[in-house]
Structure 1
Amino acid sequence: MSTGYPNCNPPMSTGYPNCNPTMSTGYPNCNPTMSTGYPNCNPTMSTGYPNCNPTMSTGYPNCNPTMSTGYPNCNPTMSTGYPNCNPTMSTGYPNCNPTMSTGYPNCNPTMSTGNRLARYANYVQAVRVPYSLEVNP
């Protein structure tokens, strides 16, 4: 991709460049390892939310500031470097950044490209109830 689109994935289909050069610093909501067909960005979103695509297929929303409560996969007020994750997002939407710090367990840097099951398993592992509760219901 041309200069100014460092977080992009060349195989992505035209119209989904996976990055927006005008997005504010600290909100690089792109993932170059996403499989083709799941573009991580939509350059036509309103200012401040360039990396979101509300029309992506179910399970891959990756960000939508207008989504109903429970799907806050983007928070523009989060501290720099933590734009893509929210530890309280609902099951099935673990679209996180593998560089997130402890406390944001929905990230898995080794998951295979586009492997939704791996993401879900990672999320479940992160939010499991304590062992004591499992054996003493």
Structure 2
Amino acid sequence: MNTAPGLEIPSALRELAEKGIDQARQAFDGFIGAARQTVASTQGLMQTADTTTQDMASRSLQAAEQNVRATLDFAQKLTQAKSLQEAMQLQADFARSQLAAVQTQASEFGGIAQSAVKQGSEHAMNAARSGADQSRMSMEDGDEVGR
């Protein structure tokens, strides 16, 4: 029978391996924590997008209703016109008021979109900052364990 002589692993080598595993575990925990925060921030972005979509849909319906009502009012006035000149004046007034309404509506839609972009950017910046901070702290904790 061949029996291998008993080799013993030096305790210093075992301690070094344990420290390395502890550092790897802490780094992993830090990165997983950062990933979880990123997912949570993504959910915040999705909520912002959902709210913006609802705001845009609601405002679109309001604008459509406003425009249809204005058109129906114009059509009714037009049927009551007594002369071609009066009909042309009604048409000019309607065109002017609708142009102003469309400009106002476009401005409101732009404001909603701008607000959504700003909120999304803030969520993204906060998520990136938080993830970087957590990763840095995890790395620092790992360095302390290695000492």
Scaled by the length of structure 1, the TM-score of the pair is: 0.17
Larger radius of gyration: 2
Name the structure where helix makes up a greater proportion of residues.
2
Q: Comparing both chains, which one has the higher relative contact order based on Cα–Cα distances under 8 Å and sequence gaps of 6 or more?
A: 2
